[in-house]
């Protein structure tokens, strides 16, 4: 079955620790995205990547880092510099082209204690 996987579903970390969230897709999609969702805030774009070995900052990139070494994978690292890391993190991917919808993974709920 083709799809996007994110693991784990729930993640707990202590304040000051870096944590990496995984995102893998086997849809052969070109572009991948990381969003953060907080209550009442909607989806906010953190980073996105159109092709392998290239990525761009979104609207709230501070305190986050990404890599795109393989087409299928786009891991997100939440660093200790991120002031409010507790949130629901969603990964999405899409084929190139304007009329292609974004497909979302199930999300990771990160709680920093």
Residues at the contact surface with other proteins, assessed by CB under 8 A: 31, 33, 40-45, 48, 50, 56, 58, 88, 90, 98-99, 101-107, 109
23 or 78: whose CB is closer to other proteins? 23
- Closest distance to other proteins from the beta carbon of 30 (Å): 11
Q: How far is the CB of 45 from other proteins (least distance, A)?
A: 6
- C-beta of 48 vs 74, nearer to other proteins: 48
Q: Would you say the C-alpha torsion 61, 27, 7, 18 has a positive or negative sign?
A: negative
Minimum gap (Å) between residue 39 Cβ and other proteins: 10
Q: Are 31 and 48 in contact (CB under 8 A)?
A: yes
The count of other CB atoms within 10 Å of the CB of residue 16 is 8
Collapsing DSSP states into helix, strand and coil, what is residue 84?
A: coil
Strands 4-7 and 19-25: antiparallel
């Amino acid at each position: 079955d083709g799809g996007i996987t994110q693991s784990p579903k729930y993640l707990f970390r202590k304040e000051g620790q870096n944590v990496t969230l995984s995102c893998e897709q086997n849809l052969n999609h070109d572009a991948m995205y990381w969003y953060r969702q907080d209550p009442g805030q909607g989806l906010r774009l953190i980073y996105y990547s159109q092709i392998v070995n290239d990525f761009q900052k979104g609207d709230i990139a501070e305190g986050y880092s990404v890599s795109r070494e393989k087409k299928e994978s786009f891991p997100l690292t939440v660093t200790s510099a991120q002031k409010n890391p507790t949130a629901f993190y969603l990964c999405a991917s899409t084929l190139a082209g304007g009329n292609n919808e974004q497909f979302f993974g199930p999300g990771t709920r990160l709680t920093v204690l």
